[in-house]
Structure 1
Protein backbone atom coordinates (compact mmCIF):
# COMPACT_ATOMS: atom_id res chain seq x y z
CA UNK A 1 0.00 0.00 0.00
CA UNK A 2 1.23 3.47 -0.90
CA UNK A 3 0.03 6.55 1.00
CA UNK A 4 0.72 10.07 -0.25
CA UNK A 5 0.86 12.96 2.19
CA UNK A 6 0.60 16.64 1.36
CA UNK A 7 0.71 19.31 4.02
CA UNK A 8 0.86 23.06 4.62
CA UNK A 9 -0.79 24.10 1.37
CA UNK A 10 -1.74 27.59 2.56
CA UNK A 11 -4.16 28.11 -0.32
CA UNK A 12 -5.55 31.63 -0.71
CA UNK A 13 -2.19 33.30 -0.22
CA UNK A 14 -2.83 35.28 -3.40
CA UNK A 15 -5.92 36.37 -5.37
CA UNK A 16 -7.96 33.84 -7.32
CA UNK A 17 -6.11 32.85 -10.46
CA UNK A 18 -2.85 34.22 -9.10
CA UNK A 19 -2.40 32.08 -6.00
CA UNK A 20 1.28 31.21 -5.76
CA UNK A 21 0.60 28.27 -3.47
CA UNK A 22 -2.14 26.84 -5.70
CA UNK A 23 0.37 26.76 -8.55
CA UNK A 24 2.75 24.82 -6.33
CA UNK A 25 -0.02 22.43 -5.29
CA UNK A 26 -0.95 21.75 -8.91
CA UNK A 27 2.64 20.79 -9.68
CA UNK A 28 2.68 18.32 -6.80
CA UNK A 29 -0.71 16.81 -7.65
CA UNK A 30 0.37 16.32 -11.24
CA UNK A 31 3.44 14.43 -10.09
CA UNK A 32 1.48 12.31 -7.62
CA UNK A 33 -1.34 11.44 -10.03
CA UNK A 34 0.61 11.05 -13.27
CA UNK A 35 3.98 9.88 -11.96
CA UNK A 36 5.14 6.28 -11.50
CA UNK A 37 4.09 6.14 -7.83
CA UNK A 38 0.35 6.71 -7.87
CA UNK A 39 -0.83 6.12 -4.28
CA UNK A 40 -3.79 4.17 -2.97
CA UNK A 41 -4.91 7.17 -0.92
CA UNK A 42 -3.73 10.62 0.11
CA UNK A 43 -3.65 12.50 3.41
CA UNK A 44 -3.74 16.30 3.61
CA UNK A 45 -2.41 17.12 7.07
CA UNK A 46 -3.40 20.67 7.85
CA UNK A 47 -2.80 24.33 7.10
CA UNK A 48 -4.82 23.72 3.97
CA UNK A 49 -5.77 27.40 3.75
CA UNK A 50 -3.79 30.52 4.57
CA UNK A 51 -6.75 32.45 5.99
CA UNK A 52 -9.34 29.73 6.67
CA UNK A 53 -11.70 31.20 4.08
CA UNK A 54 -14.50 29.15 2.46
CA UNK A 55 -13.28 29.91 -1.08
CA UNK A 56 -9.93 28.23 -0.42
CA UNK A 57 -11.60 25.09 0.88
CA UNK A 58 -14.01 24.98 -2.05
CA UNK A 59 -11.07 25.18 -4.44
CA UNK A 60 -9.20 22.48 -2.55
CA UNK A 61 -12.26 20.21 -2.62
CA UNK A 62 -12.47 20.69 -6.40
CA UNK A 63 -8.82 19.76 -6.88
CA UNK A 64 -8.88 16.73 -4.60
CA UNK A 65 -12.11 15.47 -6.18
CA UNK A 66 -10.17 15.06 -9.42
CA UNK A 67 -7.69 12.66 -7.80
CA UNK A 68 -8.33 9.00 -8.73
CA UNK A 69 -7.92 7.85 -5.11
CA UNK A 70 -9.50 8.74 -1.75
CA UNK A 71 -8.27 11.92 -0.02
CA UNK A 72 -8.58 12.55 3.71
CA UNK A 73 -8.10 15.97 5.33
CA UNK A 74 -7.50 17.35 8.81
CA UNK A 75 -7.08 20.95 9.98
CA UNK A 76 -3.97 22.85 11.05
CA UNK A 77 -3.53 26.09 12.96
CA UNK A 78 -4.31 28.26 9.90
CA UNK A 79 -7.56 26.42 9.24
CA UNK A 80 -11.12 27.16 10.23
CA UNK A 81 -12.68 23.87 11.25
CA UNK A 82 -16.25 24.94 10.46
CA UNK A 83 -15.51 26.15 6.93
CA UNK A 84 -13.30 23.14 6.25
CA UNK A 85 -16.02 20.74 7.38
CA UNK A 86 -18.55 22.40 5.09
CA UNK A 87 -16.30 21.89 2.08
CA UNK A 88 -15.62 18.26 3.07
CA UNK A 89 -18.93 17.09 4.57
CA UNK A 90 -17.96 13.41 4.37
CA UNK A 91 -15.19 13.89 6.94
CA UNK A 92 -16.55 13.08 10.43
CA UNK A 93 -16.52 15.68 13.21
CA UNK A 94 -17.32 13.79 16.43
CA UNK A 95 -17.59 16.11 19.39
CA UNK A 96 -16.92 19.06 17.11
CA UNK A 97 -13.39 17.89 16.27
CA UNK A 98 -12.32 16.72 12.82
CA UNK A 99 -10.81 13.40 13.84
CA UNK A 100 -11.67 9.96 12.53
CA UNK A 101 -10.34 6.50 11.65
CA UNK A 102 -9.47 5.31 8.14
CA UNK A 103 -9.77 1.53 8.07
CA UNK A 104 -9.72 -1.48 5.71
CA UNK A 105 -6.26 -0.59 4.41
CA UNK A 106 -4.57 -3.95 3.79
CA UNK A 107 -4.07 -4.71 7.47
CA UNK A 108 -3.36 -1.10 8.41
CA UNK A 109 -5.33 1.59 10.24
CA UNK A 110 -4.87 5.37 10.13
CA UNK A 111 -6.15 7.67 12.85
CA UNK A 112 -6.56 11.25 11.66
CA UNK A 113 -6.23 13.70 14.58
CA UNK A 114 -7.37 17.29 15.01
CA UNK A 115 -4.73 19.34 16.88
CA UNK A 116 -6.19 22.77 16.15
CA UNK A 117 -7.26 25.39 18.67
CA UNK A 118 -8.61 28.80 17.70
CA UNK A 119 -6.04 31.55 18.24
CA UNK A 120 -3.16 29.15 18.88
CA UNK A 121 -0.29 28.55 16.43
CA UNK A 122 1.12 25.50 18.19
CA UNK A 123 -0.62 22.21 18.77
CA UNK A 124 -3.62 21.51 20.98
CA UNK A 125 -4.93 18.21 22.27
CA UNK A 126 -7.50 18.48 25.01
CA UNK A 127 -8.72 15.75 27.36
CA UNK A 128 -11.73 15.01 25.13
CA UNK A 129 -9.48 14.40 22.13
CA UNK A 130 -7.11 12.30 24.23
CA UNK A 131 -10.05 10.16 25.38
CA UNK A 132 -11.20 9.73 21.78
CA UNK A 133 -7.73 8.59 20.69
CA UNK A 134 -7.41 6.16 23.59
CA UNK A 135 -10.81 4.66 22.75
CA UNK A 136 -9.92 4.22 19.08
CA UNK A 137 -6.62 2.55 19.94
CA UNK A 138 -8.37 0.22 22.37
CA UNK A 139 -10.76 -0.88 19.60
CA UNK A 140 -8.01 -2.56 17.57
CA UNK A 141 -4.92 -3.21 19.68
CA UNK A 142 -3.55 -5.80 17.25
CA UNK A 143 -3.90 -3.73 14.07
CA UNK A 144 -0.81 -1.73 13.00
CA UNK A 145 -1.76 1.93 13.23
CA UNK A 146 -0.49 5.21 11.83
CA UNK A 147 -1.44 8.50 13.46
CA UNK A 148 -1.70 11.57 11.24
CA UNK A 149 -1.85 15.07 12.73
CA UNK A 150 -0.69 18.55 11.83
CA UNK A 151 1.63 19.40 14.72
CA UNK A 152 4.58 17.10 15.44
CA UNK A 153 5.05 16.17 19.11
CA UNK A 154 8.85 16.29 18.87
CA UNK A 155 11.28 19.17 19.33
CA UNK A 156 12.68 19.65 15.82
CA UNK A 157 15.35 22.15 16.89
CA UNK A 158 14.25 25.00 14.62
CA UNK A 159 13.71 27.48 17.41
CA UNK A 160 10.73 29.45 16.15
CA UNK A 161 8.86 26.30 15.08
CA UNK A 162 9.83 23.88 17.83
CA UNK A 163 7.47 22.01 20.13
CA UNK A 164 8.30 22.05 23.83
CA UNK A 165 8.08 18.45 25.13
CA UNK A 166 6.52 19.81 28.33
CA UNK A 167 3.54 21.42 26.60
CA UNK A 168 0.26 20.14 27.99
CA UNK A 169 -1.00 18.89 24.67
CA UNK A 170 2.15 16.81 24.14
CA UNK A 171 1.79 15.19 27.56
CA UNK A 172 -1.86 14.34 26.89
CA UNK A 173 -1.01 12.89 23.48
CA UNK A 174 1.81 10.85 25.02
CA UNK A 175 -0.54 9.54 27.69
CA UNK A 176 -3.07 8.40 25.08
CA UNK A 177 -0.53 6.31 23.15
CA UNK A 178 1.47 5.03 26.11
CA UNK A 179 1.82 1.27 25.92
CA UNK A 180 0.08 1.12 22.52
CA UNK A 181 2.61 -0.90 20.56
CA UNK A 182 0.36 -0.96 17.49
CA UNK A 183 1.26 2.69 16.80
CA UNK A 184 3.99 2.31 14.19
CA UNK A 185 4.42 5.90 13.01
CA UNK A 186 3.25 9.48 13.46
CA UNK A 187 2.83 11.52 10.27
CA UNK A 188 2.72 15.31 10.56
CA UNK A 189 3.46 18.64 8.91
CA UNK A 190 3.61 22.20 10.29
CA UNK A 191 7.41 22.61 10.11
CA UNK A 192 7.57 23.13 6.32
CA UNK A 193 10.51 20.81 5.76
CA UNK A 194 11.15 17.04 5.77
CA UNK A 195 12.30 15.71 9.13
CA UNK A 196 12.48 12.20 10.59
CA UNK A 197 12.65 11.41 14.29
CA UNK A 198 11.53 8.97 16.95
CA UNK A 199 9.19 9.58 19.87
CA UNK A 200 7.60 7.30 22.44
CA UNK A 201 8.57 4.18 20.51
CA UNK A 202 7.15 5.35 17.18
CA UNK A 203 8.86 6.92 14.20
CA UNK A 204 7.89 10.49 13.35
CA UNK A 205 7.86 11.60 9.71
CA UNK A 206 7.31 15.30 9.04
CA UNK A 207 6.46 15.90 5.39
CA UNK A 208 7.78 18.80 3.31
CA UNK A 209 5.29 21.54 2.56
CA UNK A 210 3.45 22.67 -0.53
CA UNK A 211 4.03 26.30 0.49
CA UNK A 212 7.63 27.59 0.73
CA UNK A 213 9.79 25.86 3.32
CA UNK A 214 11.32 26.81 6.63
CA UNK A 215 15.02 27.60 6.61
CA UNK A 216 17.23 24.97 8.24
CA UNK A 217 18.83 26.98 11.04
CA UNK A 218 19.40 25.14 14.32
CA UNK A 219 21.12 27.98 16.18
CA UNK A 220 19.63 29.20 19.45
CA UNK A 221 17.40 32.24 19.05
CA UNK A 222 17.10 35.28 21.30
CA UNK A 223 13.54 36.40 20.64
CA UNK A 224 14.38 39.86 21.97
CA UNK A 225 17.20 40.37 19.44
CA UNK A 226 16.29 39.98 15.74
CA UNK A 227 19.42 38.64 14.02
CA UNK A 228 18.29 38.75 10.37
CA UNK A 229 18.32 34.97 10.01
CA UNK A 230 16.20 33.47 7.23
CA UNK A 231 12.89 32.05 8.42
CA UNK A 232 11.21 31.02 5.15
CA UNK A 233 12.97 30.18 1.90
CA UNK A 234 11.78 29.88 -1.70
CA UNK A 235 12.40 26.17 -2.18
CA UNK A 236 10.51 23.51 -4.15
CA UNK A 237 7.05 22.22 -3.18
CA UNK A 238 7.24 18.73 -1.73
CA UNK A 239 5.26 15.79 -0.44
CA UNK A 240 5.74 12.40 1.23
CA UNK A 241 5.06 8.85 0.15
CA UNK A 242 4.64 6.23 2.86
CA UNK A 243 4.97 2.60 1.72
CA UNK A 244 3.35 -0.05 3.90
CA UNK A 245 4.70 -3.44 2.88
CA UNK A 246 5.14 -6.72 4.76
CA UNK A 247 4.30 -5.08 8.06
CA UNK A 248 6.87 -2.29 7.74
CA UNK A 249 6.54 1.40 6.88
CA UNK A 250 9.06 3.22 4.71
CA UNK A 251 8.73 6.97 4.12
CA UNK A 252 10.03 8.87 1.10
CA UNK A 253 10.18 12.62 0.54
CA UNK A 254 9.85 13.98 -2.98
CA UNK A 255 9.74 17.39 -4.63
CA UNK A 256 7.96 18.68 -7.71
CA UNK A 257 10.63 19.57 -10.20
CA UNK A 258 11.59 19.02 -13.81
CA UNK A 259 14.39 16.45 -13.88
CA UNK A 260 16.02 14.74 -16.82
CA UNK A 261 16.91 11.05 -16.29
CA UNK A 262 20.65 10.41 -16.27
CA UNK A 263 20.21 6.67 -16.62
CA UNK A 264 17.43 4.34 -17.73
CA UNK A 265 16.74 0.64 -17.43
CA UNK A 266 17.83 -0.44 -20.88
CA UNK A 267 20.17 -2.97 -22.46
CA UNK A 268 23.22 -1.15 -21.10
CA UNK A 269 22.08 -1.17 -17.47
CA UNK A 270 20.34 -4.55 -17.52
CA UNK A 271 23.51 -6.38 -16.48
CA UNK A 272 23.90 -4.24 -13.35
CA UNK A 273 20.24 -4.74 -12.42
CA UNK A 274 20.59 -8.50 -12.85
CA UNK A 275 23.74 -8.62 -10.71
CA UNK A 276 22.06 -6.70 -7.91
CA UNK A 277 19.03 -9.01 -8.02
CA UNK A 278 21.31 -12.04 -7.85
CA UNK A 279 23.06 -10.62 -4.78
CA UNK A 280 19.75 -10.27 -2.97
CA UNK A 281 18.84 -13.89 -3.72
CA UNK A 282 22.22 -15.18 -2.56
CA UNK A 283 22.12 -13.27 0.74
Structure 2
Protein backbone atom coordinates (compact mmCIF):
# COMPACT_ATOMS: atom_id res chain seq x y z
CA UNK A 1 0.00 0.00 0.00
CA UNK A 2 1.23 3.48 -0.86
CA UNK A 3 0.01 6.57 1.03
CA UNK A 4 0.80 9.85 -0.71
CA UNK A 5 1.12 12.96 1.46
CA UNK A 6 0.83 16.57 0.35
CA UNK A 7 0.99 19.30 2.95
CA UNK A 8 0.93 23.09 3.31
CA UNK A 9 -0.53 24.04 -0.07
CA UNK A 10 -1.72 27.50 1.08
CA UNK A 11 -4.15 28.18 -1.74
CA UNK A 12 -5.46 31.77 -1.54
CA UNK A 13 -2.28 33.49 -0.36
CA UNK A 14 -2.51 35.78 -3.41
CA UNK A 15 -6.22 35.64 -4.30
CA UNK A 16 -6.02 38.50 -6.84
CA UNK A 17 -3.01 37.13 -8.73
CA UNK A 18 -3.53 36.56 -12.46
CA UNK A 19 -3.62 34.23 -14.26
CA UNK A 20 -2.93 32.07 -11.18
CA UNK A 21 -1.15 32.63 -7.90
CA UNK A 22 2.25 31.02 -7.28
CA UNK A 23 0.85 28.58 -4.72
CA UNK A 24 -1.75 27.40 -7.22
CA UNK A 25 0.94 26.87 -9.85
CA UNK A 26 3.05 24.87 -7.40
CA UNK A 27 0.03 22.79 -6.38
CA UNK A 28 -0.82 21.99 -10.01
CA UNK A 29 2.78 20.97 -10.70
CA UNK A 30 2.91 18.75 -7.63
CA UNK A 31 -0.42 17.11 -8.34
CA UNK A 32 0.58 16.59 -11.96
CA UNK A 33 3.77 14.85 -10.87
CA UNK A 34 1.92 12.74 -8.31
CA UNK A 35 -0.54 11.55 -10.94
CA UNK A 36 2.12 10.82 -13.58
CA UNK A 37 4.84 9.19 -11.46
CA UNK A 38 4.97 5.38 -11.68
CA UNK A 39 3.92 4.52 -8.12
CA UNK A 40 0.12 4.69 -7.98
CA UNK A 41 -1.02 5.71 -4.48
CA UNK A 42 -3.80 3.85 -2.72
CA UNK A 43 -4.77 7.09 -1.03
CA UNK A 44 -3.72 10.71 -0.67
CA UNK A 45 -3.59 12.52 2.66
CA UNK A 46 -3.47 16.32 2.57
CA UNK A 47 -2.15 17.08 6.02
CA UNK A 48 -3.31 20.62 6.67
CA UNK A 49 -2.91 24.25 5.61
CA UNK A 50 -4.81 23.41 2.48
CA UNK A 51 -5.70 27.10 2.24
CA UNK A 52 -3.97 30.21 3.46
CA UNK A 53 -7.02 31.99 4.91
CA UNK A 54 -9.60 29.25 5.39
CA UNK A 55 -12.00 30.78 2.86
CA UNK A 56 -14.57 28.74 0.97
CA UNK A 57 -13.33 29.84 -2.47
CA UNK A 58 -9.85 28.48 -1.81
CA UNK A 59 -11.24 25.19 -0.54
CA UNK A 60 -13.45 25.00 -3.63
CA UNK A 61 -10.48 25.53 -5.97
CA UNK A 62 -8.55 22.82 -4.17
CA UNK A 63 -11.47 20.39 -4.35
CA UNK A 64 -11.79 20.95 -8.11
CA UNK A 65 -8.15 20.03 -8.70
CA UNK A 66 -8.20 17.04 -6.34
CA UNK A 67 -11.26 15.68 -8.16
CA UNK A 68 -8.77 14.50 -10.81
CA UNK A 69 -7.35 11.92 -8.39
CA UNK A 70 -8.37 8.31 -9.17
CA UNK A 71 -7.79 7.31 -5.55
CA UNK A 72 -9.37 8.34 -2.21
CA UNK A 73 -8.36 11.75 -0.88
CA UNK A 74 -8.38 12.46 2.86
CA UNK A 75 -8.29 16.04 4.12
CA UNK A 76 -6.90 17.41 7.39
CA UNK A 77 -6.97 20.88 8.93
CA UNK A 78 -3.98 23.08 9.69
CA UNK A 79 -3.76 26.37 11.52
CA UNK A 80 -4.52 28.35 8.32
CA UNK A 81 -7.70 26.36 7.61
CA UNK A 82 -11.17 26.31 9.12
CA UNK A 83 -13.18 23.18 9.76
CA UNK A 84 -16.42 24.57 8.32
CA UNK A 85 -14.82 25.53 5.01
CA UNK A 86 -13.08 22.20 4.63
CA UNK A 87 -16.24 20.21 5.36
CA UNK A 88 -18.26 22.30 2.91
CA UNK A 89 -15.80 21.55 0.09
CA UNK A 90 -15.09 17.96 1.14
CA UNK A 91 -18.35 16.72 2.71
CA UNK A 92 -17.17 13.09 2.84
CA UNK A 93 -14.34 13.95 5.26
CA UNK A 94 -14.39 11.73 8.34
CA UNK A 95 -14.89 13.51 11.64
CA UNK A 96 -15.67 12.68 15.23
CA UNK A 97 -18.86 13.30 17.16
CA UNK A 98 -16.87 15.83 19.19
CA UNK A 99 -16.57 18.15 16.18
CA UNK A 100 -12.90 17.49 15.50
CA UNK A 101 -11.76 16.33 12.08
CA UNK A 102 -10.00 13.18 13.17
CA UNK A 103 -10.30 9.53 12.23
CA UNK A 104 -8.77 6.08 12.68
CA UNK A 105 -9.37 3.62 9.83
CA UNK A 106 -7.63 0.34 9.06
CA UNK A 107 -6.26 -0.18 5.54
CA UNK A 108 -4.51 -3.39 4.50
CA UNK A 109 -3.47 -4.22 8.05
CA UNK A 110 -2.33 -0.68 8.91
CA UNK A 111 -4.30 1.65 11.17
CA UNK A 112 -4.15 5.13 9.64
CA UNK A 113 -4.87 7.82 12.25
CA UNK A 114 -5.45 11.45 11.25
CA UNK A 115 -5.36 13.99 14.08
CA UNK A 116 -6.88 17.45 14.36
CA UNK A 117 -4.37 19.90 15.88
CA UNK A 118 -6.23 23.12 15.05
CA UNK A 119 -7.15 25.78 17.57
CA UNK A 120 -8.68 28.76 15.72
CA UNK A 121 -6.64 31.92 16.17
CA UNK A 122 -3.50 30.06 17.21
CA UNK A 123 -0.51 29.54 14.92
CA UNK A 124 0.94 26.63 16.89
CA UNK A 125 -0.54 23.23 17.63
CA UNK A 126 -3.36 22.21 19.93
CA UNK A 127 -4.33 18.86 21.41
CA UNK A 128 -6.79 19.16 24.26
CA UNK A 129 -7.69 16.47 26.79
CA UNK A 130 -10.70 15.47 24.70
CA UNK A 131 -8.50 14.75 21.70
CA UNK A 132 -5.98 13.06 23.98
CA UNK A 133 -8.63 10.71 25.32
CA UNK A 134 -10.00 10.01 21.82
CA UNK A 135 -6.56 9.05 20.51
CA UNK A 136 -5.81 6.93 23.57
CA UNK A 137 -9.07 5.03 23.11
CA UNK A 138 -8.34 4.37 19.43
CA UNK A 139 -4.87 3.07 20.19
CA UNK A 140 -6.09 0.97 23.12
CA UNK A 141 -8.63 -0.66 20.82
CA UNK A 142 -5.94 -1.49 18.22
CA UNK A 143 -2.95 -2.53 20.32
CA UNK A 144 -2.14 -5.37 17.93
CA UNK A 145 -2.49 -3.33 14.74
CA UNK A 146 0.51 -1.50 13.26
CA UNK A 147 -0.33 2.19 13.24
CA UNK A 148 0.76 5.37 11.48
CA UNK A 149 -0.28 8.82 12.71
CA UNK A 150 -0.69 11.91 10.54
CA UNK A 151 -0.92 15.35 12.15
CA UNK A 152 -0.32 18.89 10.97
CA UNK A 153 1.83 20.34 13.74
CA UNK A 154 5.11 18.60 14.68
CA UNK A 155 5.22 18.09 18.46
CA UNK A 156 8.99 18.60 18.48
CA UNK A 157 11.58 21.38 18.49
CA UNK A 158 13.32 21.44 15.10
CA UNK A 159 15.81 24.22 15.72
CA UNK A 160 14.10 26.67 13.33
CA UNK A 161 13.24 28.96 16.20
CA UNK A 162 10.40 31.07 14.80
CA UNK A 163 8.45 27.98 13.76
CA UNK A 164 9.08 25.86 16.86
CA UNK A 165 6.87 25.24 19.90
CA UNK A 166 8.23 24.95 23.41
CA UNK A 167 8.96 21.33 24.25
CA UNK A 168 6.79 21.53 27.38
CA UNK A 169 3.63 23.00 25.85
CA UNK A 170 0.53 21.33 27.28
CA UNK A 171 -0.73 20.07 23.93
CA UNK A 172 2.55 18.20 23.43
CA UNK A 173 2.32 16.69 26.90
CA UNK A 174 -1.25 15.59 26.13
CA UNK A 175 -0.11 13.87 22.95
CA UNK A 176 2.73 12.16 24.78
CA UNK A 177 0.29 10.87 27.39
CA UNK A 178 -1.92 9.37 24.68
CA UNK A 179 1.07 7.61 23.07
CA UNK A 180 2.63 6.24 26.24
CA UNK A 181 3.17 2.50 25.96
CA UNK A 182 1.67 2.28 22.46
CA UNK A 183 4.42 0.29 20.80
CA UNK A 184 2.29 -0.47 17.74
CA UNK A 185 2.74 3.10 16.44
CA UNK A 186 5.34 2.81 13.71
CA UNK A 187 5.62 6.43 12.61
CA UNK A 188 4.28 9.98 12.94
CA UNK A 189 4.12 12.17 9.82
CA UNK A 190 3.56 15.92 10.05
CA UNK A 191 3.51 19.11 8.01
CA UNK A 192 3.50 22.78 9.10
CA UNK A 193 7.28 23.30 9.19
CA UNK A 194 7.67 23.64 5.39
CA UNK A 195 10.94 21.67 5.58
CA UNK A 196 11.88 18.02 5.83
CA UNK A 197 13.10 16.85 9.21
CA UNK A 198 13.57 13.42 10.74
CA UNK A 199 13.60 12.82 14.49
CA UNK A 200 11.55 10.93 17.08
CA UNK A 201 8.80 11.62 19.58
CA UNK A 202 8.20 9.35 22.57
CA UNK A 203 10.54 6.86 20.92
CA UNK A 204 8.45 6.83 17.72
CA UNK A 205 10.07 7.84 14.40
CA UNK A 206 8.74 11.25 13.37
CA UNK A 207 9.22 13.07 10.09
CA UNK A 208 7.97 16.28 8.55
CA UNK A 209 7.01 16.31 4.88
CA UNK A 210 8.12 19.50 3.10
CA UNK A 211 5.51 21.88 1.75
CA UNK A 212 3.89 22.31 -1.63
CA UNK A 213 3.92 26.09 -1.01
CA UNK A 214 7.29 27.90 -0.76
CA UNK A 215 9.63 26.44 1.84
CA UNK A 216 10.85 27.90 5.11
CA UNK A 217 14.51 28.94 4.96
CA UNK A 218 16.84 26.62 6.85
CA UNK A 219 18.19 29.07 9.42
CA UNK A 220 18.65 27.80 12.96
CA UNK A 221 20.14 30.94 14.47
CA UNK A 222 18.42 32.49 17.50
CA UNK A 223 15.74 35.00 16.51
CA UNK A 224 14.48 38.07 18.35
CA UNK A 225 10.88 39.35 18.10
CA UNK A 226 12.29 42.79 18.95
CA UNK A 227 15.05 43.00 16.34
CA UNK A 228 14.33 42.27 12.66
CA UNK A 229 17.69 41.18 11.26
CA UNK A 230 16.91 40.81 7.57
CA UNK A 231 17.29 37.04 7.49
CA UNK A 232 15.51 34.99 4.81
CA UNK A 233 12.29 33.40 6.11
CA UNK A 234 10.64 31.91 2.98
CA UNK A 235 12.34 30.62 -0.18
CA UNK A 236 11.31 29.49 -3.65
CA UNK A 237 12.81 26.02 -3.24
CA UNK A 238 10.75 23.56 -5.35
CA UNK A 239 7.64 21.87 -3.90
CA UNK A 240 7.91 18.38 -2.47
CA UNK A 241 5.69 15.50 -1.48
CA UNK A 242 5.96 12.09 0.20
CA UNK A 243 5.06 8.50 -0.61
CA UNK A 244 4.77 6.23 2.44
CA UNK A 245 5.07 2.56 1.46
CA UNK A 246 3.53 -0.13 3.71
CA UNK A 247 4.54 -3.70 2.80
CA UNK A 248 2.58 -5.42 5.56
CA UNK A 249 5.46 -5.32 8.04
CA UNK A 250 7.32 -2.05 7.66
CA UNK A 251 6.55 1.54 6.74
CA UNK A 252 9.14 3.26 4.51
CA UNK A 253 8.88 6.91 3.44
CA UNK A 254 10.13 8.41 0.18
CA UNK A 255 10.31 12.12 -0.66
CA UNK A 256 10.48 13.69 -4.11
CA UNK A 257 11.24 17.22 -5.23
CA UNK A 258 8.98 18.52 -8.00
CA UNK A 259 11.14 20.12 -10.68
CA UNK A 260 12.45 19.54 -14.18
CA UNK A 261 15.28 17.05 -14.54
CA UNK A 262 16.89 14.85 -17.14
CA UNK A 263 16.94 11.06 -17.05
CA UNK A 264 20.55 9.90 -17.22
CA UNK A 265 19.92 6.15 -17.53
CA UNK A 266 17.06 4.08 -18.90
CA UNK A 267 16.61 0.37 -18.30
CA UNK A 268 17.50 -1.05 -21.68
CA UNK A 269 19.39 -4.17 -22.82
CA UNK A 270 22.74 -2.51 -22.07
CA UNK A 271 21.87 -2.36 -18.34
CA UNK A 272 20.12 -5.71 -18.12
CA UNK A 273 23.32 -7.56 -17.01
CA UNK A 274 23.68 -5.16 -14.07
CA UNK A 275 20.07 -5.67 -12.99
CA UNK A 276 20.43 -9.45 -13.32
CA UNK A 277 23.60 -9.43 -11.20
CA UNK A 278 21.97 -7.30 -8.50
CA UNK A 279 18.93 -9.59 -8.36
CA UNK A 280 21.14 -12.69 -8.33
CA UNK A 281 23.03 -11.37 -5.29
CA UNK A 282 19.78 -11.33 -3.31
CA UNK A 283 19.47 -15.10 -3.67
The 5 Å alignment of 1:125-136 reads 125-136=127-138
**Unpaired runs of at least 5, structure 1:** none
**Unpaired runs of at least 5, structure 2:** none
1:160 matched to which residue of 2?
Answer: 162
Instruction: Give me the whole-angstrom Cα distance separating, in 1, the residues matched to 2:105 and 2:27.
Output: 24
1:70 positional shift: 0.4
Deviates more, 1:264-273 or 1:2-11: 264-273
Instruction: Give me the whole-angstrom Cα distance separating, in 2, the residues matched to 1:186 and 1:254.
Output: 19
Conserved? CA contact 1:205–1:251, under 8 Å: no
Conserved? CA contact 1:49–1:79, under 8 Å: yes
The 5 Å alignment of 1:262-281 reads 262-281=264-283
1:118 positional shift: 0.8
Deviations 1:142-188 (A, max 9, x none): 00111111001111111111122101000000000110111111011
Deviations 1:107-144 (A, max 9, x none): 10111100000110000000111111111111111001
Conserved? CA contact 2:245–2:251, under 8 Å: yes
Instruction: Give me the whole-angstrom Cα distance separating, in 2, the residues matched to 1:98 and 1:162.
Output: 23
1:14 positional shift: 2.2
Conserved? CA contact 2:46–2:74, under 8 Å: yes
Deviations 1:34-54 (A, max 9, x none): 111121101000000011000
Q: 1:100 aligns with which of 100, 103, 113?
A: 103
1:15 matched to which residue of 2?
Answer: 15
1:182 matched to which residue of 2?
Answer: 184
1:225 positional shift: 2.1
1:278 positional shift: 1.9
Deviations 1:73-120 (A, max 9, x none): 1100000111111111111332111111232x1110111100000110
Would you say how many aligned residue pairs link Structure 1 and Structure 2? Answer: 280
Root-mean-square deviation (CA, aligned residues, Å) is: 1.2
Q: 1:121 aligns with which of 109, 120, 123?
A: 123
Instruction: Give me the whole-angstrom Cα distance separating, in 2, the residues matched to 1:163 and 1:272.
Output: 49
Instruction: Give me the whole-angstrom Cα distance separating, in 1, the residues matched to 2:76 and 2:70.
Output: 19
Instruction: Give me the whole-angstrom Cα distance separating, in 2, the residues matched to 1:133 and 1:223.
Output: 35
1:39 matched to which residue of 2?
Answer: 41
Instruction: Give me the whole-angstrom Cα distance separating, in 2, the residues matched to 1:250 and 1:207.
Output: 13
Instruction: Give me the whole-angstrom Cα distance separating, in 2, the residues matched to 1:278 and 1:246.
Output: 24
1:233 matched to which residue of 2?
Answer: 235
The 5 Å alignment of 1:63-212 reads 63-94=65-96, 95-103=98-106, 105-212=107-214
Q: 1:243 aligns with which of 242, 245, 248?
A: 245
Instruction: Give me the whole-angstrom Cα distance separating, in 1, the residues matched to 2:280 and 2:207.
Output: 32
